[in-house]
Structure 1
């Protein structure tokens, strides 16, 4: 009888230890660090999407989640310093928003899980060896877009367009990849791209002015320098009646006639789901990189008026949102 009581006591004690250990694991604070190459509406929406996904899944900053954010303010040198500081702090997961910030992270750690987002081609950027599960500490969500629908949209805005202007930063891998792919895609349709490099944000306006009289339309991607100075680009387009078409919806709010692309807020949510999977025990190297899966068309009617374009009913009806001001 005594032995039975002792065994029962030991079993109850073991159960209690297991219960409290499990409870401690559940309430243990997680640490997620987020860094972005620069702050602008598209990337800010990515960050908000990640943070909201964490919150929606019960990770509350200040309670069971330590959340840290740092912007590199457009500087690769700053991105490298932030990466070193984050790695020294040893978070559970680091989120890299945009290619330069993620490249800095990947160069700094091979062990702490990294989730990239707002990166067009992780393979070309040397973040992952392929689009398969990397078996490394890196995975994430790409914002790569098929260019054919983009060209279709350009022609719906400007049916006789032959020469397409492209303002970009030559130091951004995302932008140079799109430039090469767009050149090939346009040539197949008897069209031509005229590139205007702008190394710094302050060069955007000058680069746009250089396209005056040479192009029928200007197309922009999520180049961080360009997006950071989008109002300056839109001002040139308005003054010179050059239609402006973009690949990220936020740019329509800031002066593009049309923007066909991913919702960057939803892209952030998608990346946030991967962060949660890692916090729950999955290895980043077992999760293949993904591509954003929600696209939308935003139309700015006032921008069309300023840039001398009459929008067809077909375009207006296909828009998820129409900006009237």
Structure 2
């Protein structure tokens, strides 16, 4: 009887070992459940989410096989964030991804136990998500979409392309923390470049067009920061700007592709992919506190060719060498 029992225990141990190896390698095995909370749908955030999922798939976590994703969208209403966070926590997900600052804040207020990753966050330290970029602490880490030179370079390019410009209009949601951080940085860069700023604030996407119209006649160029409320209604902003032949400098490469004039931008799919690679590390046993917050590695000056033609902008040979034109 004793010999039989020992053989049975050895067999069970061998089976567990094989199962654990398969799960760590991302092969068919234990089911992995991941919750995703996204504040609003717009191209930058959507691409970040798609990049995140792509990294998981490349590591062997296949949706519909050994991976289940519960994607929830707050539809731009921050009041929905907490309800979503509570659902994802109560469903005992193995990991939760938050996309946009307020979505992640709701998750971190709801759980200190489940690993939490974030992406497309302007300032995770100021938002209270991590202790520092190098040493996040707790159960949270992820990627910031703010390259230290992005806003500074974008504002400086205003003087390069429109040397006669004096006033920069800014439309943003004063209740969106990441937008406020972006605007503070932009205003500093505006002042450093000898420009002045005028602002119009909104609380919802339905107010964006009217706010932009209120700046007509008071601005030479427009700056649209990384603001989820405004960017989700970017077409209404650009309608006003293009009708009035006002150049719209934007905070994201995706917004250039949608018709903004120019930006020093980054690839949000790549940003999300980096976050997905972090998720793989966590699923394999690494604590979020051991993974430093990532930032974009590369910036490129992106200009929308059609918008430039609409505005009648001519580029020198030197300028063309450093511009990535999009249509």
Query: What is the TM-score of this pair, normalised by structure 2?
Result: 0.91
Query: More displaced, 144-153 or 34-43?
Result: 144-153
- Give the CA deviation at 1:15: 5.5
Aligned partners of 1:198 and 1:312: how far apart in 2?
37
Deviations 1:267-324 (A, max 9, x none): 100111111110010111222212122323322121122234333333332233432x
- Give the CA deviation at 1:151: 1.9
CA contact (8 A) 2:182 2:226 kept: no
Unaligned runs of 5+ in 2: 23-28
User: For residue 135 of structure 2, what is the aligned residue in structure 1?
Assistant: 133
User: For residue 202 of structure 1, what is the aligned residue in structure 2?
Assistant: 206
Q: 1:203 to 1:307 in 2, by over 3 A?
A: farther
CA contact (8 A) 2:167 2:220 kept: yes
Aligned partners of 2:14 and 2:286: how far apart in 1?
23
Aligned partners of 1:65 and 1:80: how far apart in 2?
24
Task: Give the one of 54, 57, 75 matched to 1:55.
Answer: 57
Task: Give the one of 299, 302, 308 matched to 2:303.
Answer: 299
Task: Give the one of 84, 88, 92 matched to 1:82.
Answer: 84
- Give the CA deviation at 1:69: 0.4
- Give the CA deviation at 1:162: 2.2
Task: Give the one of 6, 18, 27 matched to 1:23.
Answer: 18
User: For residue 248 of structure 2, what is the aligned residue in structure 1?
Assistant: 244
Query: More displaced, 250-259 or 14-23?
Result: 14-23
User: For residue 195 of structure 2, what is the aligned residue in structure 1?
Assistant: 191
Unaligned runs of 5+ in 1: 1-5
User: For residue 287 of structure 1, what is the aligned residue in structure 2?
Assistant: 291
Aligned partners of 1:322 and 1:289: how far apart in 2?
30
Task: Give the one of 261, 266, 279 matched to 1:275.
Answer: 279
Aligned partners of 1:42 and 1:244: how far apart in 2?
17
Aligned partners of 1:91 and 1:143: how far apart in 2?
25
- Give the CA deviation at 1:111: 1.0
Aligned partners of 2:250 and 2:316: how far apart in 1?
18
CA contact (8 A) 1:299 1:316 kept: no
Query: More displaced, 231-240 or 192-201?
Result: 192-201
CA contact (8 A) 2:130 2:137 kept: no
Deviations 1:231-257 (A, max 9, x none): 111110111110011121111121111
SS at match of 1:116: strand
Task: Give the one of 87, 107, 115 matched to 2:117.
Answer: 115
Q: 1:135 to 1:34 in 2, by over 3 A?
A: same
Aligned partners of 2:269 and 2:251: how far apart in 1?
14
Aligned partners of 1:68 and 1:314: how far apart in 2?
48
Aligned partners of 2:300 and 2:46: how far apart in 1?
18
Query: What number of residue pairs does the alignment pair up?
Result: 317
Q: 1:33 to 1:294 in 2, by over 3 A?
A: farther
Aligned partners of 1:58 and 1:228: how far apart in 2?
33
- Give the CA deviation at 1:138: 0.8
Query: More displaced, 168-177 or 289-298?
Result: 289-298
Task: Give the one of 95, 98, 116 matched to 1:96.
Answer: 98
Aligned partners of 1:160 and 1:13: how far apart in 2?
83
Query: More displaced, 238-247 or 189-198?
Result: 189-198
Q: 1:52 to 1:298 in 2, by over 3 A?
A: same
